[in-house]
Amino acid sequence: MIQVNVQTKDNWIIGMNVKGHAEYAEHGNDLVCAGVSCIMFGLCNALDMLCNIEAEAVSNNININIEKPNDHTQLVMQTAIIQLQTVEQQFSQFIKIKIQEV
């Protein structure tokens, strides 16, 4: 299962960790993993190119930390969360999203 953990503070998104494998299908044919990977790598590229924030990506574990959230980081992060929630609506047995205030 893919676990998505989003951290917020004072209504600002300050971090996200995505890890795991959906196990929807065998490696190389897993559409859920492919979809989540596309969303996450697009998110990492957008944060880097638009907000100068680098994400840490190691194998199937992506960490994003936003030290100084602003309107730009929020829009980019909210867009990714909406995309991930769309995947979760269709494939809830393979991806879980948790949003928590820290």
Can you give the residue ranges of every domain in the chain?
Answer: 9-96
Mean pLDDT of 81-100: 98
Q: Write down the mean pLDDT value for the chain.
A: 95
Looking at residue 60, its pLDDT comes to 82
Measured distance CA(25)–CA(62) in Å, rounded: 21
| Per-residue model confidence as pLDDT tens digits over 18-51 | 999 999 999 889 999 999 999 999 999 999 999 9
pLDDT at 5: 98
Instruction: Say which range, 57-61, 62-66, 71-75, has the weakest mean pLDDT.
Output: 57-61
Q: Sort 72 into a burial class: Cβ within 10 Å, 0-12 / 13-18 / 19+.
A: middle
Instruction: Give me the pLDDT at residue 58, please.
Output: 84
Residue 38: both structure tokens together: 């596309």
Q: What is the CATH number of domain 9-96?
A: 3.30.70.1490
DSSP code of residue 102: -
